[in-house]
Structure 1
Amino acid sequence: MSRRIVVLGAGHAGAEVVAALRAGGFTGDLVLVGDETAVPYQRPPLSKAFLQGTATAADLPIRPRSFYDQQHVDLALDRRADSIDTHARTVRVGARSHEYDVLVLALGGRVRALSDPVAAGATNLHHVKTCADVERLRERLRPGTRLGVVGGGFVGLEVAASARDHGAAVSVLELGPRLLGRVCSEVVATHVASVHRRRGVEVRTAATGLRLEADQDGRISRLVTDQGDVEVDEVVVGIGMVPETELASRAGLATNDGVLVDVDYRASAPEVFAIGDCARVVRAGGSTRRLESAPHAAASARRAAAAILGRPAPTDGAPWFWSHQFDVKIQMAGDPDTRPSRWVTRGSVSDGSFLVFGIVEDRIVRVEAVDRPAEFTQTKPWLGRPIPALIDRLTDESVSLRQLLTRH
């Protein structure tokens, strides 16, 4: 194949799509454009091992630089695309124009910022998106540092746990009524909150009316909420991300909280694909879904690569996510937009080792595991399958899940 493929975005999705294209037999020109100086690296460890100091920048690359040399991938790093012309099939990157036969958007997203005007100029406010972001935060963490974390999702809680390992005094402020409100069951959320509190993290939920107060130097000194104030030395904001769609919108592509794509990640212009966090898939029936996770970034990259190469689409597994907080491993699988009608718990929540199954009619649609990785792996393939005779037996630990599911 002599076509030229340009990939915009050198994160997880971008790295995976160039690898999948080469593995699938693509021999044409392949350009990967990224706005950081480093080769594509893993993001999940940033708020965990990298912030804790147990991993270094050298541990983060998804593949070594030599891979891109050997696979003849033209790395255009420390560059940002300025415009796309889908009619001329060109991308403007600085002073250079790249022609393409196929364009892949793997642009991810930008951190969601607080609307408080104090946040814009604060020198002690941090986000967790890049290696440089976390290096800056890590340098500020000392025993006794008062860290305020705004947002009780995975990133905020992982930062809170890592900061406690540094000896920081940590307060987590969550606007919603509980932690992890968008992603997991109340059983798991309550357990996670108790884990943090036992480790000395102050957890406040329903912390409405948030306002920042700064000193004369512009540093945030206090987080003010309806539940009272929190004195801080440093602040981390982890309230989600906004998909990067501006470039696509200016190019005339259809967007709506993400670049709209079909199930093979084709966008609304010919020979343009969007993958990873910036892609919103339009499903049968008109519903849409956008996922933010490294597993989804890789899966969407592989599926788009197959479509580009004219090969059969790989089988899509259920969406899944994971988190490490302190010494606790949390895993979950299933469409987060699906609302189970009931939840079934297997194991002991008080002992800190259990699974929670989300049930709709006679099917498991969600599975969440706390420190049960083997059973999580065994259960994932059963998501969506009808197992009416087994649902009420999921709580019976006298029979292993492997035996239970094999017998069905």
Structure 2
Amino acid sequence: MSDERTFVIAGAGLAGAKAAETLRTEGFTGRVVLLGEEKHPPYERPPLSKGYLLGTQERETAFVHQPAWYDTQRIELRPGCRVEDVDTASQDVIVGGGHRLRYDELLLATGAVPRPLDVPGADLAGVTYLRTIDDSDALSATLVPGTRVVVIGAGWIGLEVTAAARLRGCAVTLVERDDQPLRQVLGDEMGAVFADLHRAHGVDLRLGSGVREIVGGRGRVSGVALSSGETVPADAVVVGIGVIPSVELAERAGLMIDNGVLVDSRLRTSDPHIYAVGDIANIDHPTIGRRVRVEHWATALHTGPAAARAMLGQDVVYDRLPYFFTDQYDLGMEYTGHAQPGDYDKVVVRGDLDTREFIAFWLSDGRVRAGMNVNVWDVTEDVQRLIRSGTAVDPGRLADERVPLAEV
């Protein structure tokens, strides 16, 4: 017997597409409507600053599914469709033109937008952000040999764009107001690893530098004025200073908001018929023991399917550990767990920082909170086991490469 319910997904990125896929693989036969603001089919974002930006990966490989797949799965994909509002009383979403679409269950997968640079000249031509596939296309067109590129922000996006620009023959200046790249994520010692990596590849790092102004002539960027008073010449500027979760729709729906949309371990919001996933979801995480909101690919990949199962009434507890990865030059890295400043009291290194082949562990009271493997592979399961065990480890054995991780 066919299910007559309608499940609406607001946001056609990776999380939304994987949720729609899961609804079908779990046997849901009702109506699935996938609404996305962009004109493109759902795609994954990591290639935008990695292989696709480098030109080593074809555009189609970024798509979650080929366009025809949605028709064969009876998923109503509506690109270029913005959800304007949610009427929780009638359980309607309101799209452009005031049209209403009733839902039985609603999934919010609205993602995030780049944090804007608030300085004079930030609106000049040649100042770009990287969030969408169109952004990646536009940036790729500027990354020709000899182009002077200034990247503002040494987070993951800034570092990956910097690596891509250098590999494509651009001269790159990387500006970061903190003392090390990724310092708020990895701490000083691990941040220095990435600083040294980029210096070794010819990047001009300006750490501890703020941006006073973007300068230019005839409406186009020509340089970046730093807080030191120096102006760095630039043909192109890429801003990567973080993102802001897109919670406006959730706010208008009256949902509970605090650093994203508050959801329980089932990814359900304060409204029992609305769920939230991906960048916007501030999850009550049972393993970590507090709320976490993680803006990474793996979160979108896994929260979408988990929410879909919860929408179907299955017994879901989302307890996956945060995970992300990066590729920069000849460095490949995977990070598992969650250890922000103040969450740990010790960093233990197994391996060689100088050759950039090591695993770093963040510990609190002897317990592993997070691990990062750099150019060392097939250890993620062992790192996860150490985190999930919650038991104290011997730091000496943890650092000793002769002791298998499975025996620490």
**TM-score w.r.t. structure 2 length?**
0.94
Please, which of 162, 166, 169 is the counterpart of residue 168 of structure 2? 166
Distance 1:11 1:76 in 2: 12
The yes-or-no answer on 1:103 pairing with 2:106 is yes
SS in 1 for 2:379: helix
How far apart are 1:123 and its partner, in Å? Answer: 1.1
How big is each residue's C-alpha offset from its partner over 1:195-237, in whole Å with a ceiling of 9 and x where there is no partner? 111111111111125322121x111212111333211000000
Mark the CA change 1:99 to 1:388 in structure 2 (over 3 Å): closer, same or farther.
closer
Q: Which amino acid aligns with 1:219?
A: R
Contact 2:359 2:371 in 1 (8 A): yes
Please, which of 114, 117, 129 is the counterpart of residue 117 of structure 2? 114
How far apart are 1:314 and its partner, in Å? Answer: 5.4
How big is each residue's C-alpha offset from its partner over 1:161-216, in whole Å with a ceiling of 9 and x where there is no partner? 0001110000110111210123223332111111111111111111125322121x
Aligned positions of 1:1-400 closer than 5 A: 1-95=3-97, 96-120=99-123, 122-215=124-217, 217-227=218-228, 228-282=230-284, 287-313=290-316, 316-337=319-340, 339-388=343-392, 390-400=394-404
How big is each residue's C-alpha offset from its partner over 1:260-315, in whole Å with a ceiling of 9 and x where there is no partner? 22221111223011111011224679953211011111221122122111112256
Mark the CA change 1:268 to 1:387 in structure 2 (over 3 Å): closer, same or farther.
closer
How big is each residue's C-alpha offset from its partner over 1:138-168, in whole Å with a ceiling of 9 and x where there is no partner? 1111111000000000000000000011100
Q: Which amino acid aligns with 2:303?
A: S
Q: Which amino acid aligns with 2:227?
A: D
Report the more deviating stretch, 380-389 or 201-210: 380-389
Q: Which amino acid aligns with 2:402?
A: S
SS in 2 for 1:147: strand
How far apart are 1:375 and its partner, in Å? Answer: 2.6
Distance 1:128 1:346 in 2: 34
Distance 1:53 1:196 in 2: 20
SS in 1 for 2:198: helix
Contact 2:119 2:211 in 1 (8 A): no
SS in 2 for 1:295: helix
How big is each residue's C-alpha offset from its partner over 1:381-407, in whole Å with a ceiling of 9 and x where there is no partner? 2214244454321121223324x24xx
Distance 1:283 1:375 in 2: 23
Distance 1:169 1:219 in 2: 18
Distance 2:404 2:293 in 1: 34
How big is each residue's C-alpha offset from its partner over 1:29-72, in whole Å with a ceiling of 9 and x where there is no partner? 00000111221111011001111101121111112223212211
Spell out structure 1 runs of 4+ moving beyond 4 A: 282-287
How far apart are 1:12 and its partner, in Å? Answer: 1.0
Contact 2:15 2:300 in 1 (8 A): yes
Distance 2:259 2:79 in 1: 26
Contact 2:268 2:276 in 1 (8 A): yes
**TM-score w.r.t. structure 1 length?**
0.94
Report the more deviating stretch, 299-308 or 2-11: 299-308
Q: Which runs of 5+ in 2 are unaligned?
A: none
Q: Which runs of 5+ in 1 are unaligned?
A: none
Contact 1:31 1:74 in 2 (8 A): yes
Distance 2:240 2:293 in 1: 18
Contact 1:149 1:156 in 2 (8 A): yes
Contact 2:334 2:372 in 1 (8 A): yes
Distance 1:336 1:150 in 2: 25
